[in-house]
Amino acid sequence: MAGFDSLGLDPALVSALVALGYEEPTAIQREAIPPLLAGRDVLGQAATGTGKTAAFALPLLSTIGAATGARRNVRALVLVPTRELAMQVAEAIHKYGRPLDVSVLPIYGGQAMSLQLRALRRGVDVVVATPGRALDHITRGTLDLTAVEVLVLDEADEMLDMGFAEELDAILESVPKTRQTALFSATMPPRIRSITKRHLNDPVHVTIANETAAPGKKPRIREVAYVVQRAHKVAALARVIDMESPASAIVFCRTRTEVDELTETLGARGYQAEAIHGGLSQEQRDRVLRRFREGASDVLVATDVAARGLDISHVSHVVNFDVPSSPDAYVHRIGRTGRAGKEGVAITLAEAREHRLLRNIEHHTKRKISIEGVPTVHDLRERRFELTREALAETLEGGDFERYRTVVESLAADHDVLDLAAAAVKLFDQTRDGGKDDEADIPAIAIAPAARPAGKFTPKGPRAANGPRLKSEDAARVFVGVGRNAGIRPADLVGAIANEANVNARDIGAIDIADKFALVEVPAARAAAIVTALRGTTIRGQKVQVRIDRKK
């Protein structure tokens, strides 16, 4: 524990870390903890799974110190994008701060307001909150921030992507100017830099680069892309998962429909697959995540939005059903495997025209993605035989098969022992695979390097102030029955489409807002899915009429 001792933490916290099994600080902890303990503001950039929670939680606890007095005021506020992350961060702070008797309260939407109100009236030291619910309490006057000494924004880029920009500004203005601020983000887009300039005081910049393997050493995450035609993607996914036999995997999809279809397909192939997307209630979502964490299911099929804030340490494989539209999204996704020093696998199913997107990701991450063809039926059979050999070897090493010898001995009198063993292997293989041996090979396709990246549209004419003009053959217009009179802004529409329909904000075109309605240019191929998604949600708290606009 010399590593943590050297950082200047409270000895009680160091003892708590020893009890929890921590051995040495991660890179982000080594770089961020000392300046935070010194009272400096910190702007930290690091990918998911690098130990950011401890990097801000430990100095936060050292700063506010041991709890004193019967009535406690909120002395630290941590803002996070999702309710899952709120619960995880609150649990971590509780564990670290147990020796100091620090009380922690997570507050988020979907939880009974009465429970939160009672806890706030009793008094707590640290609040971990989603921006929307935090601002709700501030507006009600039930969350007093006048005594806050430390403010943390965790996964700040995710909060902005989810449309919390106004809430963050309002909360930041409500916290004392004398507080210490720490902002952590996996990416640093201009909006994050804008918040930094306005709300952080001469921050120390801490950047933890994406890990790259040292020369001669294997990378921590094996990254591979399989090139496949769109029509064969579902079959290819099942084939790849059969080949990989993951201990646990997250499969990322763009839409809820894809999530449900893939979950059903994987279930039919014998995998315990669970779906998670915005259409689930919080109770359903909690049940799915609990089953996945406990190992009752081995594949989690999710949309990006539904998976935000998840902290699951045992994921062995991450699968991109489509190439992520941005390198940052790719880094976010694959950061959920290969954690805590373990090796992981990141798999991407790509169409030939998406070759350039893969090259962009490689340029961004400074890592090579191995591009391969989908495994053949022969490859799959060989893999199954390999697994059978491993299972037999393990059984032989384990012994305890005396009671089966009588069956073998009775047959050995009339049959060759090798033939007998081969028959047993055949029976085992057929039983495991249901006796099926009629799979067809998935067509191999060549990569077209010059293909235009999927999801990118060439602007036509001058660029509109609120989005690119899409080619007419690529574009459709969506009518949204709410406009300026309701306070609707372009950001509200972009946020709703990006989050609910899982469409990259850069793929949304021109937006025209009238007094009572708005028209949004979107990729034609995604228009129907966008309409369906928006009908199932609210925009600025209102249910609205949504349809594809057929007028010229």
Q: What is the pLDDT of residues 433-447, one digit of tens each?
A: 544 445 667 776 655
Checking 358-367 for CB contacts under 8 A at 24+ apart, the result is: 358/225, 358/323, 360/327, 360/453, 361/323, 361/324, 361/327, 361/330, 363/327, 364/327, 364/328, 364/330, 364/331, 365/210, 365/327, 365/330, 365/331, 366/210, 366/212, 367/210, 367/212, 367/219, 367/223
The pLDDT value recorded for residue 49 is: 64
Give yes or no for a contact between 103 and 127, defined as CB atoms under 8 angstroms apart: no
**pLDDT value of position 57:** 94
What pLDDT score was predicted for residue 313?
66
Q: Specify the higher pLDDT residue, 235 or 381.
A: 235
Which residues does residue 105 pair with via DSSP β-bridges, in sequence order? 127
Q: What is the pLDDT of residue 11?
A: 87
Q: Where are the beta strands (DSSP E) in 169-298?
A: 180-185, 204-207, 221-227, 249-253, 273-276
Write the DSSP symbol of residue 525: G
Q: Which CATH class name applies to 221-375?
A: alpha beta
Enumerate the CATH 3.40.50.300 domain ranges in the chain, comma separated.
2-207, 221-375
CA distance 519 to 480: 6
What is the maximum span of the chain, computed from C-alpha positions, in angstroms?
90
Residue 550 has pLDDT above 80, yes or no: no
Tracing tokens 């009775």 back to the chain, one arrives at 410
Give pLDDT, residue 456: 33
- Find the range with the poorest average confidence among 87-91, 147-151, 440-444, 460-464: 460-464
Segment holding 427, helix H or strand E: helix 417-433
pLDDT of res. 464: 35
Architecture in CATH of 2-207: 3-Layer(aba) Sandwich (3.40)
Interhelix angle 417-433/405-412, nearest 10 degrees: 130
Q: What are phi and psi of 129, to 5 degrees?
A: -140, 155
Q: What is the mean pLDDT of residues 383-409?
A: 79
**What is the structure's pLDDT at 306?**
66
Q: Band the pLDDT of 188: cuts 50, 70, 90.
A: confident
Q: Which two tokens stand for residue 138?
A: 């501030």
Task: Give pLDDT tens digits for 495-515.
Answer: 788 777 878 777 888 888 888
Q: Between 3.30.420.40, 3.40.50.300, 3.40.190.10, 3.30.70.330, what CATH number should domain 475-549 receive? A: 3.30.70.330
165 closest CA partner among 490, 484, 478, 503: 490
Where is average pLDDT lowest: 295-299, 484-488, 503-507? Answer: 503-507
Tell me the HSE value of 102 on the side-chain side, using a 13 A CA sphere: 29
pTM of the model: 0.54
SS3 130: coil
Q: What is the mean pLDDT of the chain?
A: 81
Average pLDDT over residues 446-469: 38
**Two tokens at 400?**
């305890």
Locus of tokens 């943590």: 4
Contacts of 126 (CB under 8 A, 6+ apart): 60, 64, 74, 75, 76, 77, 78, 90, 93, 97, 102, 103, 104, 105
- Are 503 and 497 in contact by the 8 Å Cβ rule? The answer is yes
CA distances from 326 to 229, 354, 456, 465, 477 (A): 21, 12, 11, 22, 24
Neighbours of 210 (CB within 10 A): 16
Question: Which tops the pLDDT comparison, 446 or 84?
Answer: 84
- pLDDT recorded at residue 506: 73
The reported pLDDT for the residue numbered 411 is: 86
User: Which residues make up the CATH 3.30.70.330 domain(s) of the chain?
Assistant: 475-549
